Amino acid sequence: MSKRMLVGCGVAIAAVALAGLPASGSAQAGTRLVTDLNALVHDPSLQGASVGLVVRKADTGEVLYTNEGTARRQPGSGIKLLTSAAALEILGPDYRFTTSVLKQGDDLYIKGTGDPTVLAANLDDLAAKVAASGTTTVPGKLIADDTWFDSTPLGVGWAWDDEPYYYSAETSALTIASNTDYDAGTAVVSVMPGAPGKAAVVWSDPANTYLTFENATITRGPGLPNTISVERKHGTNVIRVSGFISTGAATTRALTTVKEPTGYVAALFREALKRKGVEVVGPTATRVATPANATLIAEHKSMPLSQMLTPMMKLSNNMHSEALVKAAGRAVAGQGTWDAGLAAMTQRLSGLGVQGPTYLGDGSGLSRFNQVAPDQMTSLLRTVRSKPWFNTWYNSLPIAGVSDRMVGGTLRSRMTGTAAANNLRGKTGTLTGVSGLSGYVTSADGQPLVFSMLSNNFIGSAKAIEDQVGVRLAKYRADEPAEAPNARASVVSTPDLPTNVECSWVKAC
């Protein structure tokens, strides 16, 4: 166990008072709902797993069903329910990140505060403003100031072999997104066919020399399968591109993470300055704080947090979550660290209805150290309904069965054509052996419900069962008869989606 985990765990448990929680075991034994949900949580596909499910009336808090509701589990990306709500409490829905360009002496500084939504176009705009200020030559250095956050790039409990993949990018106060999903700390790699028998043509967008390529591709005859693979070699910015691509095939595009995003931003900004007619004579430096007396030349402000929640929650964007954790640490303790940020968020959880000990290992759910109980999730879901920012937060949640990915998000392909479609709103969570779905659904008789299902230690997938739970709740009526000819909810057709990561992380939903 790391020193950071020990410190964080102490803060997390001390900061949240123990409180009475509903006992585990089914509520209202003998009701039809209980019978159906019991059958689902004990489905043979979940044999050997730890499954917690709690269903409550949102208005009164009455427990309609509970199974192992007080037992804490890993929630995967479900932890974003807690961290996003805490971020809204600490930072506010109008919070914006700022990226600034300043000048002091012969040096030019680009200073970041963690904005995970900066695009190449924003760097071009900053460069244009430098040129418009009358600057044509920078005699000194280009200094990339990322000291607003600490220099720890990856969270505790993250898997090392996830590092090349865009959902596990490095967190930096100065970073850049490669697309309008705002996947921070990444670059786009494009591969198009070359001459028959020769290597494919490989390049990055935007073009740069910060990344280098190991091209092990072959262009082969038309109509054959494309087997192109793009992966950053561990600990480097060498991108290995391998496999076959056929002549006449469309260009393949893939995302890769970038090691040390600060240096990447500096390299791209230097090129942007050059395009605008501004020459930087000196070298690039990083991790140097901008002097207090530096002159502001230009700045870019991010979208407000209220808008950033859409890609963060709909697409389960991990890097947005981690930037908000460190921003919260800066706001509360003056330290842009995971320890400070997670402690600040944990301290807000009791005011958000989360009673009893819990543990936040990171902001996104990548960490295997996160621990929360379904009871705590449903209490949060009820409590935040009274917050002034609730509607913004609620609207950021994925909606079952709605095909628009910026509306349906990670639930866009689930529960389609059922009573839960365009009804159930919730946050998904997925790691190998970990699955969760927590959120809101309106019953057939108009009763708003909150629910949380967290499953750990299964082999296979729990998503089909989660979907059946969601549909059963959408069909629930308070006056339905206790007797049920079938103790199972209606079978829901679940698409063939990835089971060990969020579907959005592999752009499958």
Contacts of residue 83, defined as CB under 8 A and 6 or more positions apart, other chains included, come to 321, 324, 325, 345, 360, 363, 364
User: With 0-12 CB in 10 A as exposed, 13-18 as middle and 19+ as buried, what is 169?
Assistant: buried
Q: What amino acid occupies position 310?
A: T
Which of helix, strand or coil describes residue 11? helix
416-433 burial: b if 16+ Cβ within 10 Å, else e: bebbbbebbbbbbbbbeb
Residue 80 designated active-site: yes
Catalytic residue among 77, 306, 367, 413: 77
Catalytic residue among 80, 259, 463, 475: 80
Segments of 351-433 assigned E as strands: 425-431
Contact 326, 117 (CB under 8 A): no
Question: What are the percentages of helix, strand and coil residues in the chain, rounded to 5?
Answer: 30, 25, 45
Segments of 70-180 assigned E as strands: 98-104, 107-111, 137-138, 142-145
Residue 350 designated active-site: no
Contact 28, 64 (CB under 8 A): yes
Residue 77 designated active-site: yes
What's the alpha-carbon Rg for the chain, to the nearest Å? 24
Catalytic residue among 26, 302, 316, 367: 316
Contacts of residue 20, defined as CB under 8 A and 6 or more positions apart, other chains included, come to none
In sequence order, the β-bridge partners of residue 217 are 243
Residues carrying an active site annotation = 77, 80, 316
